[in-house]
């Protein structure tokens, strides 16, 4: 290990550029929400809680575009299945 390193040509930021599809943001979420997503990832044997959170937000977004009738049919099917 050297006693001194020269960082005069160093650059700030990520070592690898992002894919362009994702955006880095700062967001504050309740601890219990983050803990829940992290525990689900651990139960599944690993992965990224952020990816799981992103997928959940995407599903919510996509469901907003569904007609009410389709949503009601899905909910009724889920409830009937759970009651069996």
Distance separating the N- and C-terminal Cα atoms of the chain = 66
Residue 12: the pLDDT is 80
Sign of the CA dihedral 46, 18, 15, 8? negative
Q: How far apart are CA 79 and CA 73, in angstroms?
A: 10
Q: Domain residues of the chain, as ranges?
A: 31-83
pLDDT(32) > 80: yes
What pLDDT digit, counting tens, does each position of 40-60 carry?
A: 999 999 999 999 999 999 998
pTM of the model: 0.58
**Mean pLDDT of the region 16-33:** 86
**Alpha-carbon distances of 82 from 34, 40, 67, 78, rounded to whole Å:** 27, 21, 23, 6
């Amino acid at each position: 290990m050297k006693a001194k390193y020269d960082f005069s040509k160093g650059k700030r930021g990520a070592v690898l550029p992002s894919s362009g599809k994702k955006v880095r943001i700062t967001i504050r979420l309740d601890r219990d929400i983050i803990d829940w997503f992290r525990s689900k990832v651990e139960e599944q044997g690993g992965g990224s809680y952020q990816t799981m959170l992103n997928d959940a937000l995407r599903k919510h977004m996509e469901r907003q575009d569904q007609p009410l009738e389709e949503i009601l049919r899905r909910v009724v099917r889920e409830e009937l299945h759970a009651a069996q």
